[in-house]
Chains A and B, each alone.
Chain A
Amino acid sequence: AQSVTQLDSQVPVFEEAPVELRCNYSSSVSVYLFWYVQYPNQGLQLLLKYLSGSTLVKGINGFEAEFNKSQTSFHLRKPSVHISDTAEYFCAVSPSGAGSYQLTFGKGTKLSVIP
């Protein structure tokens, strides 16, 4: 079984400042890692994914995340946020082996960008 912990439920940050949203996971098997974003009244949109290879993953909208196997973390970063980044962000994992790629999500982090 897998579990995901997003350490901050809410993160306020000023416009053009950097931001880091933290995610830790626990799993007895190898996993793939994802970050999704949910804007109000919308579905989830994939920001980025880590499957294998380079531990630094670049995604859409200027976001990036770094996989740290020893710390079982997959923190999301952006060097300069915009008002339009205000949304809820979800970290998720899925098993990497054959079978189902069902996602286990964290509780989410609400990012509020302050003008």
Chain B
Amino acid sequence: DSGVTQTPKHLITATGQRVTLRCSPRSGDLSVYWYQQSLDQGLQFLIQYYNGEERAKGNILERFSAQQFPDLHSELNLSSLELGDSALYFCASSKETSNQPQHFGDGTRLSIL
């Protein structure tokens, strides 16, 4: 058990819809990273938040957004969903020091019908 909790584990929805994925980091971790794992693109970094502020942005679509709340949990919002958004979305947390690696949750599997 990594200590990172992601909900829901599975999400099935239709094109054009909007969903919210939730992540609770490990106790004491201020940093939250979101990654997307798909068959064609592999594992890609989407966005990072540190103590409530956006710190880094990767290959995140404009239809996607995220935020980190005062209690440090984070939400990834995906809107106007397309078939190609079907993927496994991982959240990872860390203490954001050089010797502290990221710990990953079990992911949310998003299926777009």
Task: List residues of A whose CB falls within 8 A of some B CB.
Answer: 32, 34, 36, 41-46, 49, 51, 90, 96, 99-108
Contacts and interface: CB of A to CB of B under 8 A. Distances in A.
Contacts of A44: 90, 92, 104
Interface of B: 2, 4, 31, 33, 35, 42-45, 48, 55-56, 58, 90, 92, 94, 96, 98-99, 101-107
A110 to B, nearest CB: 13
Contact of B45 (A45, A99, A102, A108): A102
Given A43-B104, A43-B106, A43-B107, A102 B99 contact: no
A51 B45 contact: no
A51 B44 CA distance: 22
- 3 shortest A-B CB distances, which residue pairs? A100-B56, A105-B43, A43-B104
B51 to A, nearest CB: 13
Contacts of A46: 101-103
Nearest to B102: A103
Nearest to A94: B102
Contacts of B42: 105-108
A33 B51 CA distance: 25
A57 B21 CA distance: 35
Contact of A103 (B2, B33, B99, B105): B33
A82 B104 CA distance: 24
